[in-house]
Amino acid sequence: MTATTNLEIKKDMAIIVKKFGGTSVGNIDLIRNIAHRLTSEYHKGEGLVLVVSAMAKTTDELFSLAYGISKHPSRRELDMLLTAGERISMSLLSLALMEEGIPSISFTGSQSGIITDEKHGNARILKVNAFRIQEELEKGKVVIVAGFQGVSTSKEITTLGRGGSDTSAVALACYLKANKCEIYTDVDGVFTADPKLVEKPKLLRQISPELMLTLCYNGSKVLHPRAVEYALKYGVEVEVKSSFTFAPGSLITNKMTENNEENNMEERKVTAIAHKNALLRYTFPLNVKVLKTLSDWYYEIYKSFVNEGLLELFVESKYETEVDYFLQERNTKPISKKGDLAFVNLIGLGLGHDPAFLATVMENCQNFNILRSFNNEQSIELLLPDQNCAAAVKTLHKIYIEEQV
């Protein structure tokens, strides 16, 4: 990343970037609570940069308004609309800090210098020129930044896709050479499986960026995978923790302690289980026309496979209407489209290269109608009917995590 300023933050000032998700800033009381909790950190002399998401459900409500007007709203205009949600959050948090006697200022993504490409709805950050943030930190202010958004090289407002506030936070931490990036959410950290699904989830106190990235790309909702990519590339330590307690959570770091969950990996230990349900599978012939369509694609793809001249794309069913319209506009017809699919993914170093371990997994999944299995050095990925997803996660978590000593 490059900067366009010669300003430098004072060397003795610790910079902490903190990101607060939608449920963390879901109402006025929660916002006031965050501001109150931050007073002690501010008075320690730390430079605080706060990245906020839209208040809970706000983005969904804005989507509904847009689709109430148009069946296929312009992606540019959607970006203009959706970025309003984060602007509300940042302003309210700034006001709350001022009520605590803390000087603060809020910036949109574009004012923060987050420069993106021109892909509306799922833009990628090209560089960060956060000189205004540096200037305000030098003045002793807390800086609040609207996450999820930036400005393109052609001066258009863009959004980074769902979960993009995580990406905003880690990107700013990289630019500012922050001591740490903290992601505050409505759970205590990163668990061995969805705590809303399994009976005895275990909190992972430490996890490597590589395994965390595998978890994110396989369905974990705690962090956006692009945020973990930044953390891995630029060596930023990220901690996921509760916005309700501010207690220590899960540290994503390569500086592992002796008691971390990834030791003894020769035992083919399952670190965590991720899943993604409500999936659609589009199957296409692998030809020039389809490849051109793919090059224009701007919806998130969960997984893709090429097999014997066929291209398979797995996407979340919530994108079905827009994907179908996108394909229709380009006169690209899939060979088939199948819904009600899910993936259950066992994550852990070395799992995918152990046939004996794969045998035990298949034996324990006999009742779940496994359609296909894929593997790599850090995971075993199971494709199965959506209706069997929850039961498979619960069963595998109990066997490979809960019952392990």
20 is in an annotated binding site: yes
From residue 135, how far is each of 8, 131, 149, 194 by CA, in Å?
9, 6, 21, 41
Dihedral sign (CA 117, 123, 124, 129)? positive
| H helix count then E strand count, the chain | 11, 18
222 is in an annotated binding site: yes
**Alpha carbon distance 387, 372 (integer Å):** 16
117 is in an annotated binding site: no
192 is in an annotated binding site: no
State which H helix or E strand residue 194 sits in.
none
Query: Quick check: 222 and 172 in contact, CB under 8 A?
Result: no
**Alpha carbon distance 50, 181 (integer Å):** 10
Dihedral sign (CA 159, 160, 164, 165)? negative
321 is in an annotated binding site: no
Q: Select from 151, 153, 30, 42 the least CA-distant residue to 93.
A: 30
236 is in an annotated binding site: no
**Alpha carbon distance 265, 277 (integer Å):** 28
23 is in an annotated binding site: no
- Count of other CB atoms within 10 angstroms of residue 27: 12
Q: Are strands 15-20 and 47-52 parallel, antiparallel or unpaired?
A: parallel
Query: Quick check: 256 and 200 in contact, CB under 8 A?
Result: no
Considering all CA atoms of the chain, what is the largest pairwise distance in Å, rounded to the nearest integer? 65
Residues forming a β-bridge with 383: 343, 372
Q: Select from 44, 43, 47 the least CA-distant residue to 9.
A: 47
Residue 308 is classified by DSSP as: T
Q: What stretches of 195-300 show up as alpha helix (H) in DSSP?
A: 209-217, 225-234, 288-295
Residues 268, 272, 275, CA angle at the centre, nearest 5°?
Answer: 120
Query: Quick check: 90 and 52 in contact, CB under 8 A?
Result: yes
Q: Which residues of 168-191 are buried (b: 16+ CB within 10 A; e: fewer)?
A: bbbbbbbbbebebbbbbbebbbbb
- Binding site for substrate, by residue number, is 59, 86
List the binding residues: 19-22, 59, 86, 185-186, 221-222
Residue stretches of the annotated binding site for ATP? 19-22, 185-186, 221-222
